[in-house]
Amino acid sequence: MKPLLLTLFLIASSAAFAQNNAPKAPPTEAQKSFEAMKALAGTWEGKLTTTPPAPEVQDKIAHVSLRVTSSGNAVMHEITIPGREDDPITMFYLDGDRLTLTHYCDAGNRPRMTGKLGPDGKTLNFDFLDISGEMKYHMHHSVITEIDANHHTEDWTFMMGDKPVVAHFDLQKKN
């Protein structure tokens, strides 16, 4: 190897080594929240109850799939309820210094919420940020709580005009 190329190679190699061995910054709150979301990856099943009761879904068994995708940069959440044709999809991702979700709702809109991990390290609270599409009926709030590695709950608050409907999912891990 020519002396100049060898020098450049050694400089680049030492810079890469120094970068790989530099101390890492502690994770941000958003990163901790996103890691908690990723930890729920898998297939889940459980009873759905609503307040006030919605007869078309009350006490049905719901299926929830959570999948880490896009090289670890997103979590895809899909809810399937037997007898219903719609399968709402929610994408969770880091947006700068905040954990954000976009809910692709069966109401035809796309609300966004930002989430934070609670002090217990097991509860993610998502608050409404904004919406693309009609706001009359929309998902407005969500709480996801890890009970243990095989059990978590989800509470999704849907606004029907000015009246909230809370869908509560009590989920057990299937795989």
Domains of the chain (ranges; CATH) run: 27-173 (2.40.128.20)
User: Rounded to 5 degrees, what angle do the CA atoms 77, 81, 82 make?
Assistant: 145
**pLDDT tens string 81-103:** 988 888 899 999 999 999 999 99
How many other CB atoms are there within 10 angstroms of residue 16's CB atom?
10
Query: Per-residue pLDDT for 20 more than 90?
Result: no
> What is the rounded distance in angstroms from the CA atom of residue 143 to the CA atom of residue 127?
9
pLDDT single digits (tens) 36-65: 999 999 999 999 999 999 999 999 999 999
Q: Which residues pair with 99 in a beta bridge?
A: 94, 115
CA 154, 155, 160, 163: dihedral to nearest 10 degrees?
Answer: 170
Q: Which residue has the higher pLDDT, 19 or 116?
A: 116
Q: How far apart are CA 159 and CA 162, in angstroms?
A: 6
Predicted structure pTM score: 0.85
* Token couple for 1: 């190897």
N-to-C CA span, the chain: 54
DSSP E strands: which ranges in 52-162?
61-69, 74-80, 89-95, 98-104, 110-117, 123-132, 137-148, 151-160
What percentage of the chain has pLDDT greater than the value 70?
87
How far, in Å, CA of 173 to CA of 46, rounded? 9
Cβ-based neighbours of 112, under 8 Å, separated by 6 or more:
100, 101, 102, 103, 128, 129, 130, 131, 132
